[in-house]
Amino acid sequence: MSAEDAIRRELVAAAHSAFARGLTHGSTGNISARVDGDRVLMTPTGSSLGSVTADSLSVLELSGRHLDGPPPTKESFLHLAVLRARPDAGAIVHTHSTHAAAVSCLADLDRADVLPPYTAYYAMRVGAMPLIPYFPPGDRGLGDAAEHLAVGHRALLLANHGPIVAASDVGAAMDAAEEIEENARLFFLLTGRRTRPLSPEQVRALAPSRR
């Protein structure tokens, strides 16, 4: 099996898992993986992550040029922007998961870091997650905003939309996306109660950098 075939299988397994666990619904959500420095596999447009197959993935260059397969997700420009900003990233997961999307609709959020770090796993896998202002679907301004913020952050929350996270590979990106959803769930469960998020010192002890 070639390296690309292995990545295709990993991406499809992650897509099916995300759908089965309710991190996406309908045809929402998309996943991409870097094959080499300039080629990217991506889930296709109009597809449910629950039915994606290894041979139905789109192949693009980082520039956005479509190389092979069906047309990519309409949010391909967002994935490519984050991958350009983070040459260390091997994969991107973008979901519309319920609790994280609900957080993205709230007023008076800390735009520099939307969710408190309630757990060590959130602090380690996600770090600080800033809010990107609302952009209508397909607005390329979203890609510009994401590319700027992704330089210093692994995860971003898109206002009235959902989270996007970059990581070393598909498995790590999925783990981080799930931590975002679980931390958002805790956020709502704890609303109205006194809470004790991890302190900045505790976060620093877990990871030298939250980038």
Q: Residue 121 catalytic?
A: yes
- The catalytic residue among 4, 10, 118, 121 is 121
Q: Which residue has the tokens 């109660």?
A: 193
Integer CA distances (angstroms), 11 to 58, 115, 180, 182, in order? 12, 27, 19, 21
Helix (H) or strand (E) holding 59: strand 58-61
Cβ atoms of 72 and 60 within 8 Å: the answer is yes
- The catalytic residue among 75, 178, 179, 181 is 75
H helix count then E strand count, the chain: 7, 8
For the record, the structure tokens of 168 come out as 């070393």
Specify whether the backbone of 137 is left (phi greater than 0), alpha (psi in -120 to 50) or beta.
Answer: beta
Other residues' Cβ atoms within 10 Å of the Cβ of residue 89: 23
Cβ atoms of 149 and 156 within 8 Å: the answer is yes
| Residues with catalytic roles | 75, 121
